[in-house]
Amino acid sequence: MLDGFLAPDGTYFIFLLIFIFLFIVQFFYYGFFFLKFARHKESPSAAKTEGVSVVICARNEYHQLKENLPLILGQEYPDFEVVVVNHASEDDTAFLLSKMAEQYPRLKIVEIRENLNFFDGKKFPLSIGIKSATHDLVLLTDADCRPVGPRWIALMASGFSKEKEIVLGYGAYQDSNSLLNKLIRFDTVHIALQYLSFALAGIPYMGVGRNMAYRKSLFYENKGFTSHYSIHSGDDDLFINRAATRKNTQVVADPESFTLSRPKKSFKEWWTQKKRHLSTGRYYRCRHKFLLGLYSFSMVLFYTFFVILMLLSLNYTTFVVLILFILRLVFQLFVFRKTLARLNEKGIWLLVPLFEIILILINSALTVSAFMSKDTKWK
């Protein structure tokens, strides 16, 4: 029996030790990092009255602005403005904004009539919008996003203090009850679980442009996007990766602080979006790339070695492998159940294991594709 367990060259025993090590690594990420957000409780913050500038960049976003902008302009907050940068739109965006400005005095319009290329992608118009902001607190979202409730600005602003200069929020996608929609929402939750948990652990590394805020003064202190201006994407995560610290970053996860937007309707569109987002990961700080890479790599290898060991398993070792696999699965489902409830995401909990495997395959293919091709431009 011992000879069978060790195999002629001890390969099986080595594989088993590697599998146990991968289990420990995965359990560490879920227990030390992800459980922080799953069990995180919002601390009551004093109401803020400091002025807030909501900055939105729009390019041919007539229908999205018509639908979402009134909900932003109607927020319950004493002092705010909404700065919309119309970046060389060819539709009726300019006409719509002009008409809305007559009804909403809080709306400030910044027109960029030519598609200038000082910055690639969204970074040039966003820089202009931030520069045009009246207030030091700058709250960012996209033209296709809407706040979940009327207290969005108030709740995001409540995360600021003398020490906290960056506030990270959650940008959700609408539920259309299709399998692709559920996969996209799971991916969004999985990404949020990582960057919000890491931030709570004192290692902030990214935010999403659909819902995050920082001080205008911090933007200037870090020289805006100049350190990565040649990269098409990354106006959100790369800036946070450079500017965020353990002390200056806060997480706000109140359900009323979320934004909501429509997800991509086709797999091809979603693939292009994910490819653009993943392409910026190579520019993260080394320690962030190591931590994120170790999590992803250990997850891929955990499944790989599980399959190998189940195919080669000998007598009682099958039980050991199965127990470790089930323990990780149960703990994962426990963490995701709490996370999904906190983020008001429904209908995907039991699909978590399946979606994880699907995303392993998709992200692996995207990583190879992203590193072999040019960045996708913002449109």
Q: Is residue 9 part of a domain?
A: no
- What pLDDT is stored for residue 272 in this prediction? 87
Considering the domain architecture, whether residues 250 and 341 belong to the same structural domain is answered as no
pLDDT mean across residues, the chain: 91
- What pLDDT is stored for residue 116 in this prediction? 62
Considering the domain architecture, whether residues 125 and 267 belong to the same structural domain is answered as yes
**Coil, strand or helix: which one is 139?**
strand
Domain that holds residue 313: 16-39+287-372
pLDDT tens by residue, 98-143: 999 999 999 999 999 877 655 557 888 999 999 999 999 999 999 9
Considering the domain architecture, whether residues 105 and 215 belong to the same structural domain is answered as yes
- Residue 277 confidence (pLDDT) above 90: no
Considering the domain architecture, whether residues 231 and 88 belong to the same structural domain is answered as yes
Domain count, the chain: 2
Minimum mean pLDDT range among 11-15, 52-56, 199-203, 277-281? 277-281
pLDDT tens by residue, 314-369: 667 889 999 999 999 999 999 999 999 999 999 999 999 999 999 999 998 887 77
pLDDT tens by residue, 222-258: 998 887 777 777 788 999 999 999 999 999 999 999 9
Task: Give the β-pairing of 137-140 and 52-58.
Answer: parallel
Considering the domain architecture, whether residues 155 and 301 belong to the same structural domain is answered as no
Q: Is residue 136 part of a domain?
A: yes
Q: Is residue 235 part of a domain?
A: yes
For residue 231, what is the domain's CATH number?
3.90.550.10
Q: Is residue 132 part of a domain?
A: yes
Considering the domain architecture, whether residues 320 and 243 belong to the same structural domain is answered as no
Q: Where are the beta strands (DSSP E) in the chain?
A: 52-58, 80-87, 107-112, 137-140, 145-147, 166-168, 171-173, 212-215, 249-251, 259-261
- What pLDDT is stored for residue 114 in this prediction? 76
Q: Point out the domain boundary residue: 228, 252, 280.
A: 280
Considering the domain architecture, whether residues 224 and 292 belong to the same structural domain is answered as no
Q: Is residue 140 part of a domain?
A: yes
Measure the CA angle with vertex 188, ends 41 and 346; round to 5°.
70
Considering the domain architecture, whether residues 312 and 251 belong to the same structural domain is answered as no
Q: Point out the domain boundary residue: 280, 303, 319.
A: 280
Q: Is residue 22 part of a domain?
A: yes
**At 8, is the pLDDT very low, low, confident or very high (cuts 50, 70, 90)?**
very low
Mean pLDDT score, 78-96:
95
Mean pLDDT score, 250-270:
94
Q: Is residue 11 part of a domain?
A: no
Q: Is residue 269 part of a domain?
A: yes
